[in-house]
């Protein structure tokens, strides 16, 4: 299995600012994923991040709002830019391991005031 850590675990940010979330995996993985979970909702995939290439964004998510970096096979960052209260969510990173089993980090709880 893969062990995933995220920083920060939670943050409170002001409208108009940005937050960068870090995701660290204890093993090298090809694909990393970023999800958003809005209050009371299930998870929605934001983008898939492969090392050495641009992230692939899902419908409704754009690079200007959610820039992603993937500098190596164990690390990725997601930035949520120009924050608004609607961005208040839990953001989770995940990786696929072995026979397509997916593992998740503990999540970052973002509150925008």
**Binding footprint of another protein on the chain (CB under 8 A):** 6, 31, 33, 41-45, 48, 90, 92, 94, 96, 99-107, 109
Counts of helices then strands in the chain (DSSP H, E) = 0, 11
Shortest spacing between CB 12 and another protein, in angstroms: 14
Shortest spacing between CB 106 and another protein, in angstroms: 4
CA distances to 14, 60, 100 from 30, in Å: 34, 24, 12
Shortest spacing between CB 60 and another protein, in angstroms: 13
Q: What angle do CA 104, 56, 78 make, to 5 degrees?
A: 50
Shortest spacing between CB 56 and another protein, in angstroms: 10
Q: Which is nearer to another protein, 66 or 107 (CB)?
A: 107
Q: Which is nearer to another protein, 13 or 81 (CB)?
A: 13
DSSP string, 58-95: PTT--TTTS-EEEEETTEEEEEE-S--GGG-EEEEEEE
Q: Which is nearer to another protein, 73 or 96 (CB)?
A: 96
Q: Which is nearer to another protein, 81 or 104 (CB)?
A: 104
Q: In 10 A of CB 22, how many CB atoms? A: 16
């Amino acid at each position: 299995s893969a062990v995933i850590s995220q920083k920060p675990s939670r943050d409170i940010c002001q409208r108009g600012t940005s937050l960068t979330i870090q995701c660290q995996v204890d093993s090298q993985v090809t694909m990393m994923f970023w999800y958003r979970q809005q209050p009371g909702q299930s998870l929605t995939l934001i983008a898939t991040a492969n090392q050495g290439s641009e992230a692939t964004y899902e419908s409704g998510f754009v690079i200007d709002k959610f820039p992603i970096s993937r500098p190596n096979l164990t690390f990725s960052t997601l930035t949520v830019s120009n924050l608004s209260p609607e961005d208040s969510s839990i953001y989770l990173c995940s990786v696929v391991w072995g026979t397509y089993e997916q593992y998740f980090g503990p999540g970052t709880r973002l509150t925008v005031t």
